[in-house]
């Protein structure tokens, strides 16, 4: 038995793909929310988040978009704002044993909340 299998023996490959994507999404949220950002630094921050999160196990692809309009509207006299969940749209693709999960975080106006959810999962 592989050491890794010892700890994940009670879940399917499909569940493992979801687990890995969800861990990555949680890490992203708690590591980067609060980061100082403005319109000029947003692209660099998007790339940094993407590259850091793609290092996580099983992560195949990460897409990060920071809402530039919200940055401009929230900008303080110091020419930056702290990144918050309302400003960021993220898609994480996680694959384990050929099972793919796509997890998403986006601001849902009706909920007034940056919701994390499973957008797609292989059957």
Domains and CATH numbers, the chain: 3-121 (3.30.1300.20)
Q: Which residue has the tokens 């530039």?
A: 68
Q: For residue 123, how many other CB atoms are within 10 A of its CB?
A: 4
What are 73-92's pLDDT values in tens digits? 888 888 899 999 999 999 99
What pLDDT, on the 0 to 100 scale, is given for residue 1?
Answer: 47
What pLDDT, on the 0 to 100 scale, is given for residue 20?
Answer: 94
Distance (Å, rounded) from C-alpha 110 to C-alpha 123? 29
What pLDDT, on the 0 to 100 scale, is given for residue 97?
Answer: 92
What are 9-57's pLDDT values in tens digits? 889 999 999 999 999 999 999 999 999 999 999 999 999 999 999 999 9
Q: Are 25 and 90 a contacting pair, CB within 8 Å?
A: yes
């Amino acid at each position: 038995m592989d050491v890794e299998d010892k700890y994940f023996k009670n879940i399917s490959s499909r569940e493992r793909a979801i687990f890995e994507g969800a861990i990555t999404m949680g890490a992203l949220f708690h590591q980067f929310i609060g980061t100082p950002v403005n319109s000029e630094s947003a692209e660099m921050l998007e790339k940094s988040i993407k590259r850091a999160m793609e290092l996580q196990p099983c992560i195949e692809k990460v897409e990060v978009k920071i809402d530039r309009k919200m940055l401009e509207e929230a900008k303080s006299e110091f020419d930056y704002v702290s990144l918050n969940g309302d400003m960021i749209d993220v898609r994480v693709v996680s694959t384990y044993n050929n099972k793919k999960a796509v997890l998403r975080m986006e601001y849902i106006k009706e909920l007034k909340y940056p919701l994390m959810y499973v957008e797609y999962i292989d059957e």
